[in-house]
Structure 1
Amino acid sequence: MRGDRLISILLLLQSQGRMTAKELSEKLEVSERTIYRDMEVLSGSGIPVFADRGKNGGWSLVDGYQTDLTGLKESEIRALFVPAAPQLLDDLGLTRTSEDARNKVIASLPAAYRESAKDVWSRIHIDTSSWRGTKEKIASFEVLKNAIWKNNKLNILYQRGDGQTNHYIVQPLGLVAKGSSWYVIAVKENGDIRNYRASRIQSAVSSKETFERPVDFDIAAYWKNSKQAFIKALPTYEVWVKTSREVLPRLSFSTFFVRIIETASTDEKGWTRVKLAFDTKEEAKRFLLGFTDQMTVTEPEELHAEILRMAEAAVAHYKK
């Protein structure tokens, strides 16, 4: 433990410059007396640390003492220091560890590159949380994480998309964050690899029984292939519509799962033909009806008739 702390002190002094014993003790969560003892150990091992007395004093290293990471390009340094999503780090319990690792890496950079690395933090921030701050509740996240690191089998109670719940015994291989949602990648008893949305795992109990992790399993490659297969399997319902010029820019920002497939010609009145794709006909009807007189279905004809009946039903309902 002391060895880790001594390295942390050394790297903090390299990255921050002069620091008081109080600042170091607060940063490392130890007493000031412990910091003074650590400084004696560092000095005795040949590390050139020295103390400046007085009001603006503190501990520092002899100028030029540092361990450099050589061979890094400026663009590589920027890529290295792009911040991770705070919410995901917090979910994994790695917020403090990430900060410590970042300090260690920046301390080992050549002095000329340090400001460039720090500048990334003031220019780029990644936020995967929703606008309203809602967060999926995961009942057994700590159990899931521990089982993944220790290769323990899990007995889970899982709620499927149709609302049914089933018990499964699985071998957890890893976690994937999709946006702000977590998925557990695990091997079922029949050997198939499946994705389980962590928020749907109602309970998880870790078994003492361990399993052999597949040597060649690459979670990034697996997720890429799984995502592509999922997208291909999604149902598609395509529609041709005519939209007013006011509506067209809004289509790309719809909250519904609608995709623009093709944009065709615009007539003299400013109406543009657009081909849209939805998951289902029901989604298409609800979406298109919401635009009232600013969008007209041209194909398929039966959808045009169904939306007309929906509109007439709405009018009749509100006239009651």
Structure 2
Amino acid sequence: MKSNRLFEIIYILLDKKRVTATELAEHFEVSRRTICRDIEILSSSGIPIYTDKGRNGGIGILDNFTFDKSILSEQEQNEILASLESLNALKYPNIDSTLAKLKPLFCKSDTSWISVDFSHWGSDDREKDKFVKIKSAILDCNIITFEYIDTYGKISLRCVEPLMIWFKEKSWYLKAYCRKKNDYRIFKIIRMRNICVCEQTFVRSIPTEVGEIKENEYKNINLELKISKDIEYRVYDEFDIDNISDDNNGNFIVTVQYPQNDWIYGYILSFGKNIEVLEPIDVRDKILQIIDDIKIKYL
């Protein structure tokens, strides 16, 4: 307890610049004599604390003092604060108070440089609440239950051990052990609803090979796409530069590998008139069929 009090006295002095022995005594609920002994210990340890007597006197610490200068380099201090800022943006518990203590100790300004919002555009507080519940369940190792809507619109009730929130290809996923399937699964968070955090806990860690599991077991296909130069911004935003070439007319030829499911057809159609599927032929034919079906609705 004493060592914790000594550390916090340094933090208070760095934060407030000057306090009285009475204020410290009231804060720690100890006597003024105890505080005076603490100040003597800190001074004898090389901490540059000074006291001023008189009406406006008090206990202070030299302005140019950095508590950990001999322990952590400038780069190490910045890396620690950057990591904590990242956790704070992800709403990790109790990080606010840690940052509040370390910034004065490191003599850093109170600048927030990162913000993370898990929800998609147009969503409401219920969508944000999903991530709060999932995060809490992962940290506390609680089972969660939820209704899940698969690619075909079928709804199933799932009971899982949540292990990790994962961001992939512009979407948020949950890596979990599904008790219904008795295997690891990846769930698209936007398709999860009515999430309930249970009191029951679990003991399981995430194996490295889970990262290779797909949301559903679809066969990957190689696509060759011709994309108009008019939407160049999308090409460089959404495809690896190594997969992009020129067709000598200013348009782009993109080769990419995707799972063959309903998502891929919607994605291709999102480019409108600015895309043409060159290969494979069956995907090209499927796109033509979808376009014909759409045309019928407008005739």
Q: TM-score range by the shorter chain?
A: 0.5 to 0.7
| 1:205 aligned residue | 199
- Offset at 1:250? 0.6
The answer to whether structure 1 residue 74 and structure 2 residue 74 are counterparts is: yes
Alpha carbons 1:264, 1:274 under 8 Å: kept: yes
- Offset at 1:6? 4.4
Three-state SS of the structure 1 residue aligned to 2:296 is helix
| 2:37 aligned residue | 44
The answer to whether structure 1 residue 303 and structure 2 residue 283 are counterparts is: yes
C-alpha RMSD over aligned residues? 4.7
1: CA distance, partners of 2:213 / 2:177: 17
- Offset at 1:44? 1.8
Alpha carbons 2:89, 2:116 under 8 Å: kept: yes
The answer to whether structure 1 residue 164 and structure 2 residue 156 are counterparts is: yes
Unaligned runs of 5+ in 2: 44-48
The answer to whether structure 1 residue 263 and structure 2 residue 244 are counterparts is: yes
| 1:19 aligned residue | 18
Quick one: structure 1 residues 67 and 229, their matched pair in 2 at CA, closer, same or farther if it must change by over 3 Å?
Answer: same
- Offset at 1:36? 8.8
The answer to whether structure 1 residue 7 and structure 2 residue 7 are counterparts is: yes
The answer to whether structure 1 residue 126 and structure 2 residue 114 are counterparts is: yes
- Offset at 1:311? 2.3
The answer to whether structure 1 residue 239 and structure 2 residue 223 are counterparts is: yes
Alpha carbons 2:25, 2:35 under 8 Å: kept: no
- Offset at 1:60? 0.7
1: CA distance, partners of 2:274 / 2:7: 66
How big is each residue's C-alpha offset from its partner over 1:10-60, in whole Å with a ceiling of 9 and x where there is no partner? Answer: 2332x34723469x97xxxxx984369566423223234555468975531
- Offset at 1:205? 1.7
Unaligned runs of 5+ in 1: 26-30, 108-113, 149-153
1:282 corresponds to which of 253, 262, 266:
262
| 1:96 aligned residue | 97
Alpha carbons 2:159, 2:180 under 8 Å: kept: no
Alpha carbons 2:227, 2:253 under 8 Å: kept: yes
1: CA distance, partners of 2:27 / 2:65: 23
Alpha carbons 2:221, 2:257 under 8 Å: kept: yes
Three-state SS of the structure 2 residue aligned to 1:135 is helix
2: CA distance, partners of 1:182 / 1:278: 17
Read off the aligned partner of 1:99 and give its amino acid letter: A
Three-state SS of the structure 2 residue aligned to 1:270 is coil
- Offset at 1:225? 3.6
1: CA distance, partners of 2:188 / 2:269: 32
| 2:88 aligned residue | 86
Read off the aligned partner of 2:157 and give its amino acid letter: T
Three-state SS of the structure 2 residue aligned to 1:275 is strand
Read off the aligned partner of 2:230 and give its amino acid letter: E
Read off the aligned partner of 1:251 and give its amino acid letter: V
Three-state SS of the structure 1 residue aligned to 2:230 is coil
TM-score under structure 2 length normalisation: 0.65
- Offset at 1:204? 0.7
1: CA distance, partners of 2:265 / 2:183: 37
Percent of aligned pairs sharing the same letter: 16
TM-score under structure 1 length normalisation: 0.62
